């Protein structure tokens, strides 16, 4: 995460000064980034949403004909 922040133009001193690491730890994003189960959980959430988009477009009737 720090290397990505440095590539985005944030130095380590700026990250520490802004308190971004403590905010990330509070939100649990740091543990999610290092958890090996995160990609599988995101995939299990993304696949139904990916299928729901076209299904809604096909199944929900339009109220207005364009």
- Domain locations along the chain: 2-59
For residues 30 and 1, the answer to whether their CB atoms sit within 8 Å is yes
More confident residue, 64 or 15: 15
Give the predicted TM-score (pTM) of the model.
Answer: 0.48
Q: Which residues of 13-31 are buried (b: 16+ CB within 10 A; e: fewer)?
A: eebeeeeeeeebeeeeeee
Res 1 pLDDT > 70: no
Q: What is the pLDDT of residue 12?
A: 79
Q: CB burial class (10 A; 0-12, 13-18, 19+) of residue 10?
A: middle
pLDDT by residue (tens digit) across 15-41?
A: 788 888 888 888 888 788 788 998 999
Q: What is the pLDDT of residue 53?
A: 92
């Amino acid at each position: 995460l720090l290397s990505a922040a440095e590539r985005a133009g944030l130095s380590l001193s700026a990250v520490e000064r802004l308190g971004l690491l403590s905010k990330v730890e509070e939100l649990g994003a740091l543990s999610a980034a290092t958890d090996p189960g995160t990609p599988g959980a995101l995939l299990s959430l993304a696949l139904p949403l990916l299928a729901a988009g076209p299904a809604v477009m096909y199944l929900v009737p339009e109220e207005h004909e364009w």
